Amino acid sequence: MAAKLIHSMIRVVDLERAQRFYTQGFGLSESHRMDFPTFTLLYLRDPRSGYELELTLNKGHSEPYTHGSGYGHIAFAVEDLAQHHQHLKSLGYTVGDIKELKAPTGAARFFFTTDPDGYKVEVIERGGHYV
């Protein structure tokens, strides 16, 4: 039986602010929303892969969530890294410097940004392993 990876979930304090970051910054679009008395689930879909990011808003929770020592980052692959870097900056988001790693088995050009809830997001140039 083959399993299909369908989504990752993060908890957010301001649903609309988080949605704006992922829709404007990465082209995700709302695919489904479920509103319950104590929480809301908002699914944002990547049009290329179909993979979704589930934003969970726990109603009445106003303090930033702690991410612990286990969370690393989510990643998006883009065609033009410099252009996407500038795009996020033009939207007012903080972006790190573009960096490059080289190893005998491959290379990567990337930068990191942080979403409104403090989750790290890697933006990596498409190519090689990262297609």
| pLDDT single digits (tens) 43-66 | 999 999 999 999 999 999 999 999
What are the catalytic residues?
122
Strands (E), 13-131: 29-35, 39-45, 52-58, 74-78, 99-103, 106-114, 120-125
CA distance 42 to 53: 8
What is the structure's pLDDT at 34? 97
Amino acid 70 reads G
Residue 60 tokens, joined? 């009445």
What is the structure's pLDDT at 39? 96
Domains by residue range for the chain, with CATH: 1-63 (3.10.180.10), 71-131 (3.10.180.10)
| H/E run at residue 81 | helix 81-90
CA distance 129 to 58: 36
Q: What is the pTM of this model?
A: 0.90
| pLDDT single digits (tens) 23-45 | 999 999 999 999 999 999 999 99
| pLDDT single digits (tens) 89-116 | 999 999 999 999 988 888 899 999 999 9
DSSP state of 84: H
CA distance 55 to 9: 6
Sheet holding 99-103, edge to edge: 74-78, 120-125, 106-114, 99-103
Q: How many residues does the chain have?
A: 131
